[in-house]
Amino acid sequence: MSGEKIEKKVTVGNRMGLHARPASCIATILADYPEAEVTLARPDDFENAADCHSVLSLMILAAGQGTELILSGSGEGAAEAVRRIEACFTANFDEGR
């Protein structure tokens, strides 16, 4: 299902926001899905969506605690990648609140 598209709303729950460690966790997950195109964007700024394969791109979002983001994916493996990333947000990247 290479044309598969998925979109989820996620909220940054950890106190430090989307800093280097959570961004690295996301990029590490995406390393398992090289054919998937997965992005994170602010709901009002899809033009500047961050490529989830890139730690730097994710950090440029400057998403602090409480920021709502749209997690979008398409391509081979995107649904599983998005599910795994969404689970990281749900668990606050194991950093607590």
- The residues annotated as belonging to the active site are 19
Residues 50 and 40: beta-carbon distance below 8 Å: yes
CB 66 within 8 A of CB 17: no
Residue type, 96: G
Q: Which helix (H) or strand (E) holds 17?
A: none
Tokens standing for residue 69? 């983001």
- For residue 4, give the amino acid letter: E
For residues 55 and 16, give the distance between their C-alpha atoms in angstroms, rounded to a whole number.
16
